[in-house]
Structure 1
Amino acid sequence: MKPIFPAIRLRDKGNWLAGRDGIVMAFFIHRDHSEVGPAIWRSIQAYLRAIPPGSLNWYTSADGDMVPLDDEGWEHNRHVVIERIGGGSRTVELRESPSEAGSYQVEYYGRRLDSPFHDAPATTLSFTFPTEYLVEHGAVRLRSLALELARELPLNFGYASFALVSTQGSWASADWDITEALLARYAGLDAPRAMRLSSDLGTRALAPAWLTFLGQPLLGQLGGIDALRDALPFPEVSLLPMDGDRVLVTLDEWPDPIDTRTKPIPPQYRALAQRMEPFLFQYEGEALLPYQQDMNRWIRRFL
């Protein structure tokens, strides 16, 4: 049964759109960016074929400025992703709007595992869609697209979820009281921060989502596919083995906002969260910053 999706528009102090409702698909790959560039580029091309023409109009240039995405821009971004010479990180940000949170965007943060600038790096690729895309095309089509985007990625973790679609986690710049109330009410509402997590996630997991992708070493740490099947004996759940010793866990027919005012947390979300608990990402230390404490609690919201 298709759930009711809340219409969300979050604005910052300047009244710019900082976040909106939509779908995020994020993939975390514990490999140097030089090993996965061609697969990343093919995934970006698959996304481009799936979205309406002209949805991506701007990109982040080598100088860090937002500039129009023309043929020269596409070649620049292809070079950033594919080029294997030299060290350092790689950044590709493709946007619908230069200043506001658009419906469609790509964020790619290629990392080196030996980088001294990141605590626990993970090469990260993220795509977004407006909720209208999901409603128009249906959950089956979106799940198929997620599989296509992930097909060649040697991911260790990934997910697709109803979300606050924004650029570089700009949803956090909106009125925090409103944002906090939304996250407290909708347990199935993701708050993506691809850039930050690309520096911190390593081989750990985030909370379960509508679609949860598990690869190595996470899948092995969880006991493999058979152990997951035993832990998730729910009619809504399906497990699809993927090439490369990966699995896609689907927790429901549709991505569910999980409005806790009207329903409890579905048991399959709790069961997978409990299985994943030892491997969930958490900020550690005695003097955590407030946002770190908030994120630790939020990642554990299904437990």
Structure 2
Amino acid sequence: MRIVFYLPHDHRTLAPVLRRTLDTYLAFISAGGGALTSGEDPDISEAAFPLTPEFWEEARRHIEKSRFEHLDEMEQDSFWFRTLTKRGFDTWVHLIGGESDPTGYEFSFRSRLPWREPSGEYSVLSVKVPMQFLEDQGPEKAFELAQALAEPLPFSTGHAGLSLSFTRGRSRLLPLLKDHLVRHPGWDVPRASTWGMEEGIDGIHWMTFLGAPLLDTLGGPNAIRARLQHPETTVQELTGCRAVIRLGPAPLAGDTKLGETLPAYRELARFLEPWLMPSAPFVPFEGYTPEEMRHWWRRFLEPPPAAISDPRDG
């Protein structure tokens, strides 16, 4: 399961709360025996490294303190201006629960480039827990984790739900998963880039977090409740004029061949359609035609395929 927040702020604005989010995540996963053991950071090492006490301190320092002022104030032929604009982000800290045998635990923060006039990019905070966490701790604990992470973050939008995780070979594996993605629409494929999202919503998920100004545009929590009629859908207000929409007690993958078409997800997709951010024009999946990409992105907006009946049932 993946929990992600899109943050329309530079690192210097987010730095005061990032240590808190990391400590919150560590507290939740350690209670169930999970841990982060390896790290990746292009400014620390070119390869994954074990999280020794020294590297933990370095990783925390990277999270807690922004190093760069506005790029507009740098010389354009300087080393850091060329480095930052080439890689497309300010700071990236990526902590995982195993290098050669990933455990499914992951904490990742990537901050956008600090221009004086902000671009359409977002800073992104993303965490993952394995399916074993859901099985052992239960979906309510996963919901509590998402809420606890959301509490200090000035997010624009965010979401949580079942998500594919590619440690390597994404471009090679995605074409092999076409039939599975169609059959199980509740699984998400993480977005490769936030460029051009503006105020868009990144798909339909078990949980959808809404902040300003989008929540006001949608009419606020009460207006959303009035529009969403599925009995398992809840809309909960959060502090700071924010809200979270939850589609049932647990995330669902669905199975269109068995008629499990996820009606609550479809209802939310119809409500949010004007704000849904299309994936195909920006990050097409390798090996997918434009029509296949369109069909996948609109999987909750178009009529579901008919369930396949089992002759043994007759």
Q: Cα–Cα, structure 1 residues 288 and 245, in superposed 2: closer, same or farther, change >3 Å?
A: closer
Bigger drift between 215-224 and 275-284 goes to 275-284
Q: Cα–Cα, structure 1 residues 59 and 115, in superposed 2: closer, same or farther, change >3 Å?
A: farther
Q: Cα–Cα, structure 1 residues 280 and 204, in superposed 2: closer, same or farther, change >3 Å?
A: same
Q: Partners of 1:47 and 1:264 in 2: how far apart? A: 32
**Cα RMSD over matched residues?**
2.6
Extract unaligned runs of 5+ from structure 1.
1-22
Q: Partners of 1:171 and 1:115 in 2: how far apart? A: 36
Residue 72 (1) aligns with residue 89 (2): no
Quote the residue 1:241 is aligned against.
237
Percentage identity across paired residues of the two chains: 29
The Cα shift of 1:289 comes to 5.4
The Cα shift of 1:199 comes to 3.8
Map 1:1-303 onto structure 2 (within 5 A): 23-52=1-30, 55-61=35-41, 62=43, 63-87=45-69, 89-99=90-100, 101-112=102-113, 114=115, 120-167=120-167, 170=168, 172-193=170-191, 196-282=192-278, 291=286, 293=290, 295-303=293-301
Partner deviation per Cα, 1:136-195 (whole Å, 9 max, x = no partner): 11111111111011111111111111121234xx462443443222211110011123xx
The Cα shift of 1:261 comes to 1.2
Q: Cα–Cα, structure 1 residues 171 and 249, in superposed 2: closer, same or farther, change >3 Å?
A: farther
The Cα shift of 1:33 comes to 1.8
Q: Cα–Cα, structure 1 residues 176 and 110, in superposed 2: closer, same or farther, change >3 Å?
A: closer
Partner deviation per Cα, 1:76-100 (whole Å, 9 max, x = no partner): 1111111134145110100122245
Q: Retained in 1: the 8 A contact 2:34–2:105? A: no
Q: Partners of 2:11 and 2:57 in 1: how far apart? A: 18
Q: Cα–Cα, structure 1 residues 198 and 184, in superposed 2: closer, same or farther, change >3 Å?
A: same
Q: Retained in 2: the 8 A contact 1:187–1:301? A: yes
Partner deviation per Cα, 1:254-283 (whole Å, 9 max, x = no partner): 100111111242332122112211111125
Alignment coverage as a number of residue pairs? 275
Q: Cα–Cα, structure 1 residues 80 and 124, in superposed 2: closer, same or farther, change >3 Å?
A: same
Q: Partners of 1:159 and 1:185 in 2: how far apart? A: 21
Partner deviation per Cα, 1:207-245 (whole Å, 9 max, x = no partner): 121111111122122222122111102210111100111
Q: Partners of 1:39 and 1:29 in 2: how far apart? A: 12
Q: Retained in 1: the 8 A contact 2:120–2:195? A: yes
Q: Which structure is richer in relative contact order (CA contacts within 8 A, separation 6 or more)?
A: 1
TM-score (norm 2): 0.79
- The one-letter code sitting in structure 1 at the alignment partner of 2:113 is R
Partner deviation per Cα, 1:96-144 (whole Å, 9 max, x = no partner): 222454311111111136389x962111111111111101111111111
Extract unaligned runs of 5+ from structure 2.
70-83, 85-89, 302-314
Q: Retained in 1: the 8 A contact 2:171–2:285? A: no
Q: Retained in 1: the 8 A contact 2:280–2:297? A: no
Bigger drift between 171-180 and 155-164 goes to 171-180
Secondary structure at the aligned position of 1:51 is classed as helix
- The one-letter code sitting in structure 1 at the alignment partner of 2:184 is Y
Secondary structure at the aligned position of 2:258 is classed as coil
Q: Partners of 1:27 and 1:41 in 2: how far apart? A: 15
Bigger drift between 64-73 and 99-108 goes to 99-108
- The one-letter code sitting in structure 1 at the alignment partner of 2:104 is S
Q: Retained in 1: the 8 A contact 2:280–2:293? A: no
Q: Cα–Cα, structure 1 residues 59 and 264, in superposed 2: closer, same or farther, change >3 Å?
A: same
Bigger drift between 259-268 and 128-137 goes to 259-268
Higher-strand-fraction structure? 1
Q: Retained in 2: the 8 A contact 1:38–1:81? A: no
Quote the residue 2:311 is aligned against.
none
